[in-house]
Amino acid sequence: MPSPVSLRLPKETAEKIQRIAAIEHRSIAEMVRILAEEALKTREFPDIIFTEGPTGRRATYRDGLDVWEIIEPYLLSGKDWSALRESYPDEPEAKLRAAVRYYESYPEEIAARIALN
């Protein structure tokens, strides 16, 4: 259940949030929630950014691969590490392990992305 939080933001920050909320047709509260969630995820996973696309925002590595793209063969193989490694032989192991950790932290988000594919 969401917890109400009251906060004060610098004027410039509040104005930027209002602009983004207006562009995305969201309430300011919803926009602050989304921004806070993305900031926390970025802090947990520094190599991951959030990219806007035709299907909405998604977790993406800085080099362009989406997290769901990396995780899909892992899930389709019954969470077999060797299948993931074989699907992305040129990717560093640390990146693949981070993708698995991201999935484990946010399984609904990744499952929804895979379902859209």
User: What are the extents of the domains in the chain?
Assistant: 10-44, 46-117
Rounded mean pLDDT, 79-85? 96
CA dist list (Å): 47 to 16, 43, 76, 102: 24, 9, 24, 11
pLDDT for the residue numbered 53: 87
pLDDT for the residue numbered 28: 94
Rounded mean pLDDT, 2-9? 86
Please check whether residue 57 is in contact with residue 51, taking contact to mean a CB–CB distance below 8 angstroms: yes
For 59-76, what is each residue's pLDDT tens digit?
A: 999 888 999 999 999 999
* Neighbour tally for 85: CB within 10 Å: 14
Q: Does 3.40.50.300 match the CATH number of domain 46-117? A: no
| Mean pLDDT for all residues in the chain | 94
- Please state the pTM of the whole predicted model: 0.88
Looking at the chain, the whole-number percentage of residues with pLDDT higher than 70 is: 100
